[in-house]
Amino acid sequence: MKVIIVGGVAGGASCAARLRRLDENAEITMYERSGYISYANCGLPYYIGEVITDKEELTLQTPESFYDRFRVNAKVRHEVVDIDADNKTVTVKNLETGEEFKDNYDKLVLSPGAKAVKPNISGIDGENIFTLRTVEDTLRIYDHVKKSGAQSATVIGGGFVGLEAAENLRHLGLNVTLIEAAEQVLAILDGDMVSQVHALFRENGIKLLLGSGVAGFENNDGKTVCKLADGNEISSDMVLLAIGVAPDTSLAQKAGLKTGIKGSIVVNDKMETSVDDIYAVGDAVEIEHFITKQKALISLAGPANKQGRIAADNIAGGDSRYKGTQGTSVIKLFDMTAAATGINERTAKSLGIEFEKIILSPLSHAGYYPGGNVMTIKLLFEKNSQKILGAQIVGYDGVDKRIDVIATAIRAEMKVGDLAELELAYAPPYSSAKDPVNMAGFIAQNLISGKVKHFYYEDLTALSKDEDAFLLDTRTPFEYKQGHADGFVNIPVDELRERIDEIPADKRIYVMCQSGLRSYVATRILSNLGYDCYNFAGGYRFYSIIENEKLASKSAYSCGMDK
Ligand code: FAD
């Protein structure tokens, strides 16, 4: 059997290696357009920031090492330019010599990935405007910074690549402006959860311009000027464009393969395309979302690797199936970590899914053991089925582990209450006897059973005008004096029983504390005394992060512009 693989990185290389492990006799050739195979896309931003200093570290295999281990003919700087599915041949262009030749296959696997989106706006091809996808792109950006002595950079796009690039350019000492057309960066997070990320970027000296579309570029005396749609201009020594990716599927389209969203390749759960003996995997394919069951594009290394393995299994005569992607992802942002799995509130609302949400701010490990940090967890579950729909976590230590536990629970289609029962590893340096994931389960159980009712940040404006609502802050007078939400009256939780006369029995009681724990205790005291009461999800800490960020974003936009 002769197998040709197009694209030699995440999906392609993993397919090739798996196939060899299953079949010692298959003849496997892998064509890769760039100069490297099996490179670490995910590590590229860290080379720019000199966190990874040895460029060899970026490539996990060379064509030689891949041949030695797997007997795969990996041809770099070779682009597959045409597929003749009827005759089962591909046309390949040697990019060093310009020579073209044909190669035949029994099975063809396409893993061409996704290319950086470049909008058709004036000046887009300017010489100091970069995109980041390959090792070559990375070296080009790094060399430019070093050789030109660039002092400033504008990063356009606040997705994973944009944020990682901004952080790493800042790490190199550049003045960095990050422009994002949406009102927030990191679309995997909801607006309330992302405030912490915005604040962190500003604290680290990155100028954040949200809700700003770029209309074009101009070269002005060696500087690149980004012209914003609102008439403002940002001038810097270089621009990194990271406004998203689109499936790199012109080859597949030319060959007549069935395509879906944004020209992605349509595949079934065996990774077979619409054309016999052609498989496709990775960023180039349309997948089914594990939660919504809708068609989607999700560009992540884990799914690409798994799909490559599944395609190899099926080529070797097995029966492996891909069960969908849930979008589990994690990102390092300076010393912070943000992670998500499943869907967020924005998506749930847009799909009309009836959900409940909980927001909690537990410590990463036992409070009495030094070094614990607060993380914010937001978790959504479906109202009727109680199935977990998704989670977002922003914090420091232990964010990755909690998101992975919840991601696993989602895969196992567990109900949210099951999180309370998970037996998770505990010793003081790592967790608490009630792990944050267990805590999320307890809170959900209380919500479902009606023991506790919640209210949310978005309810506050209406509540402040509601004459039948009594707003109660149960923190200490000192904490209250440091800052509190408008209209809230301070009665510390430990004084509640003695001062119960101050709580009007004919009103609904809305209770807030710092993290949501003391207010939970207060709502239980009040409920047991017959009050109708509600606990604020996320606590004052969460509230103040959102409020502070609102103020910061307004002032950043008004004073951070080069007119
Ligand atoms: P790729 O790995 O992109 O490989 C496709 C290859 O195909 C390319 O090298 C391309 O040159 C080659 N090719 C295309 N067309 C042809 C052709 N006609 N002939 C020959 N060769 C061709 N994902 C995560 O999960 N976590 C992360 O932290 C993360 N960080 C990332 C950081 C960056 C800077 C980038 C760019 C991506 C990151 N990703 C991350 C995404 C992840 O790298 C991709 O989802 C994954 O690599 C997709 O695998 P793939 O095989 O589909 O495509």
For residue 494, give every residue at least 6 positions away whose Cβ sits within 8 Å of its Cβ, in sequence order, or none: none
Q: Identify the DSSP state of 488.
A: P
pLDDT band at 550; cut points 50, 70, 90 = confident
Mean pLDDT of the chain: 95
What is the average pLDDT across 110-120? 95
Does the active-site annotation cover 559? no
Report pLDDT digits (tens) over 326-371: 999 999 999 999 999 999 999 999 999 999 999 999 999 998 999 9
Give me the DSSP letters along 318-383: -------B---EEEEETTEEEEEEE--HHHHHHTT--EEEEEE--BSS-TTSTT--B-EEEEEEET
Structure-block tokens of residue 419: 């999180």
Buried b (16+ CB within 10 A) or exposed e, 404-432: ebbbebbbeebbbbbbbeeebeeeeebbb
Q: Is pLDDT above 60 for 323?
A: yes
Residues 421-480 have pLDDT tens digits of 999 999 999 999 999 999 999 999 999 999 999 999 999 999 999 999 999 999 999 999
Query: Which residue among 42, 226, 513, 533 is the active-site one?
Result: 42
Q: Which residues lie across from 470 on neighbouring strands?
A: 509
Q: How confident is the model at residue 556 (pLDDT cuts 50, 70, 90)?
A: low
pLDDT digits (tens, 9 = 90+) for 502-516: 999 999 999 999 999
pLDDT at 40: 87
With a CB cutoff of 8 Å and minimum separation 6, the contacts of 534 are 453, 454, 455, 508, 509, 510, 511, 523
CA distance 340 to 406: 9
Give yes or no for a contact between 358 and 447, defined as CB atoms under 8 angstroms apart: yes
Distance 304 CA to ligand 1 centre (A): 9
Q: What is the pLDDT of residue 557?
A: 53
In this prediction, residue 562 carries a pLDDT of 37
Give me ligand 1 centre to Cα 113, in Å: 5
Reduced 3-state DSSP string for 288-313? EECCCCCEECCCCHHHHHHHHHHHHH
Q: In b/e form, how buried is each residue of 323-345, taking b as 16+ CB within 10 angstroms?
A: ebbbbbbbbbbeebbbbbbbbbb
Pocket of ligand 1 (CB under 6 A): 6-7, 9-12, 31-34, 41-42, 44-45, 79-80, 111-113, 132-134, 160-161, 248, 251, 282-284, 299-302, 304
The string of pLDDT tens digits covering residues 42-101 is 999 999 999 999 988 888 889 999 999 999 999 999 999 999 999 999 999 999 999 999
CA atoms in the 13 A half-sphere facing the CB of 299: 21
Per the DSSP assignment, residues forming a β-bridge with 506 are none
